[in-house]
């Protein structure tokens, strides 16, 4: 009798264990399925981004303006394709972008970098045209998401800095970002950093670096590391020149825009202008205040950047080749007035 009860108990216990084991296996299989689905989804984004960017790049070199006109269409079609289930036809783009704050970075960054490749060859008018098309995409997305999933992936210094001059909230920052993380990883051996991340032509390894400009800027700054002179010595000369142009642009674009305001512009944005001496009085105060800030900015860059590059900084300040920081502002006159008031206050 005891033996039978024991056998029954063992059978029940075995069945229970088998049931629990089967449940665990089902849960593990479900987790694997979810993981594989997520992995497949990410791969799909990267595959589509490569295909879209390759086609877009070819068109850009052939007909830049017409291609830029198609940017939003290509962007939307690529994302719709990436977020559509090939088996069921269900499109989850709206839901995922609403939940995440924006789209996965693969497709946007690929298209931005396609523009970045040709951007230095554009004249100022065509650069502004490209900027307008890019901002038309970015302005529809939460600015915090742009900071963490769009601009940190832009490689070209001139493109990234022109975007951030036009929209300061889109600047991804340097602290805690890719450049600082890599410096901490390889510190204090720049030789290891150079061997693994910089090729013989002085460019970064694109398979290991997200934003060439952000990493280069971090390497040059003395408050991040002491590798500035070493990096400047081996960096590609043309790329380093654009890095310095971008750094200078972000520091001085606003100041020189305000200095360039004409009498008509200043009086046009200041509705309080009643007396004939309004412009001369305020223009003098404005210029003096801006000159002080330009001087402080110049001194700060000299402190931060390698001494071997100081002459280049002066050269870039003189060139003033950067975006108009107020060109794409919806409330341009209001912002200009706010800045003029700020710099002319007693």
Model confidence over 175-187: pLDDT tens digits?
989 999 999 999 9
% of the chain at pLDDT higher than 90: 68
Top-confidence residue, 221 or 92: 221
pLDDT at 32 over 90: no
Checking if the pLDDT of 132 tops 90, the result is: yes
| In the predicted structure, residue 37 carries a pLDDT above the cut 80 | no
Mean pLDDT of 301-305: 97
Mean pLDDT of 260-280: 74
User: Cα-flanking dihedrals φ and ψ of residue 198, to 5°?
Assistant: -125, 130
Looking at residue 87, its pLDDT comes to 81
Question: 108 versus 7: which is more confidently predicted?
Answer: 108
pLDDT-based confidence at residue 129 (cuts at 50, 70, 90): very high
Residue 39: pLDDT band with limits 50, 70, 90: very low
The predicted structure's pLDDT at residue 31: 47
Handedness of CA 64, 66, 71, 77 (dihedral sign): negative
Q: What is the pLDDT of residue 344?
A: 86
Mean of the per-residue pLDDT values of the chain: 88
pLDDT digits (tens, 9 = 90+) for 47-95: 999 999 999 999 999 999 999 999 999 999 999 999 998 888 889 898 8
Among 4-18, 49-63, 157-171, 317-331, the range scoring the smallest mean pLDDT is 4-18
pLDDT of amino acid 200: 95
pLDDT tops 90 at residue 223: yes
Most confident of 23-32, 56-65, 255-264: 56-65
* pLDDT attached to residue 150: 96
Model confidence at 217, pLDDT cuts 50, 70, 90, reads very high
Segment 263-286 mean pLDDT: 75
pLDDT level of residue 167 (50, 70, 90 thresholds):
very high
Q: In this structure, what is the dihedral angle of CA atoms 74, 80, 86, 91, given to the nearest 10 degrees?
A: -170
What would the mean pLDDT of 143-163 be, rounded to a whole number?
Answer: 96
Query: Does 161 have pLDDT greater than 80?
Result: yes
pLDDT of residue 289: 95
**Mean pLDDT of all residues in 9-37:** 60
**pLDDT value at 24 more than 80:** no
């Amino acid at each position: 009798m005891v033996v039978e009860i024991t056998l029954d108990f063992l059978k029940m216990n075995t069945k229970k264990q088998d049931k629990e084991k089967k449940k665990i296996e089902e849960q593990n299989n479900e987790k694997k399925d979810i993981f594989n689905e997520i992995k497949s989804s990410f791969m799909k984004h990267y595959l589509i981004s490569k295909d879209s960017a390759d086609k877009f790049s070819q068109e850009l070199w052939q007909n830049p303006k017409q291609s830029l006109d198609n940017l939003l269409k290509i962007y939307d079609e690529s994302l719709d394709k990436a977020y559509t289930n090939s088996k069921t036809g269900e499109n989850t783009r709206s839901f995922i972008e609403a939940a995440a704050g924006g789209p996965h970075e693969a497709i946007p960054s690929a298209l931005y970098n396609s523009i970045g490749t040709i951007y230095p060859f554009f004249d100022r008018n065509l650069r502004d045209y490209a900027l307008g098309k890019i901002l038309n995409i970015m302005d529809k997305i939460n600015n915090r998401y742009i900071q963490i999933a769009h601009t940190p992936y832009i490689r070209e210094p001139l493109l990234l800095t022109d975007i951030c001059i036009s929209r300061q909230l889109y600047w991804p920052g340097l602290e805690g970002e890719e450049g600082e993380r890599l410096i901490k990883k390889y510190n204090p051996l720049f030789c290891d950093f150079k061997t693994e991340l910089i090729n013989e032509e002085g460019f970064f390894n694109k398979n290991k670096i997200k934003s060439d400009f952000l990493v280069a800027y971090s390497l040059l700054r003395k408050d991040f590391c002491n590798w500035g002179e070493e990096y400047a010595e081996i960096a590609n000369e043309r790329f380093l020149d654009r890095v310095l142009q971008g750094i200078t642009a972000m520091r001085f674009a606003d100041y020189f825009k305000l200095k360039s305001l004409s009498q008509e512009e200043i009086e046009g944005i200041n509705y309080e202008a009643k007396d004939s001496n309004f412009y001369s009085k305020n223009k003098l105060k404005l210029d003096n205040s801006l000159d002080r800030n330009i001087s402080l900015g110049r001194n700060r860059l000299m402190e931060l950047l390698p001494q071997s590059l100081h002459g280049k900084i002066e050269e870039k300040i003189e060139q003033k080749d950067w975006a108009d920081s107020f060109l794409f502002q919806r409330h341009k006159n209001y912002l200009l007035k706010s800045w003029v008031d700020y710099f002319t206050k007693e």
